[in-house]
Amino acid sequence: MDASGMTEEKIQSGNMPLIFGLSFVLAFLLSWSMTYVVVHQAHFDSLFMDFPEAKAAVTELLDGKFEGWKNNYRTFGHGALHGGMMSIVFGLPILATNAMFERKGFKYIWVNGLYWFITITLMGGFICQFLPK
C-alpha cells in the first residue's frame, strides 16, 4: 500500500462489483489473446516452425489430416515459458513506463512486475496444457 500510495479510505471508496467484474473481463481478454502466443498450432504459419516436420505437416494439411502435428508442444512448461517471456517483453515495459511517469518507485515496479510475471506465466501454462485440443 505504501509503494502505491494507497490508503484505507481509497480502498473503501471503490466500487468493488465494478472493479472485480471489469477485472474478470480484462483477464478473459488477456487469456484469449495469449492462446495465440502459447499454442503454436493456433494459426497456419506455425506449421513452418518445425522445419523437420514441415513437409509432413503440409502434406497432412493438404490431405485434410491434422493429427500428426496439432498437439506438438502442448505442455504446461512450454506454455509457462512463453507466458513468462510475454510478461517480460510486453508487460514489464508497459508497467515500468507507466510507473515512472506516475513517479512510482522501484519497489512498486518490482511488486507489480513480479505479480504479473507469475500470473501470466501460470496463465500461459494452463492455457497450453488444458485448452481443448
Tens-place pLDDT, residues 27-62: 899 888 888 788 776 555 555 555 556 666 666 666
Q: What is the pTM of this model?
A: 0.71
Is residue 91 included in any domain, yes or no? yes
Question: CA 50, CA 66: separation in Å to the nearest integer?
Answer: 15
Give how many domains the chain has, as a whole number.
Answer: 1
Is residue 101 included in any domain, yes or no? yes
CA distances from 79 to 24, 59, 83, 98, 113 (A): 21, 27, 6, 27, 19
Could you tell me which residue, 56 or 104, shows the higher pLDDT?
104
What is the predicted pLDDT for the residue at 118?
Answer: 97
Question: CA 104, CA 75: separation in Å to the nearest integer?
Answer: 37
Phi-psi region of 127 (alpha: psi -120 to 50; beta: other; left: phi over 0): alpha
Is residue 67 included in any domain, yes or no? no
Is residue 52 included in any domain, yes or no? no
For residue 116, is pLDDT > 90? yes
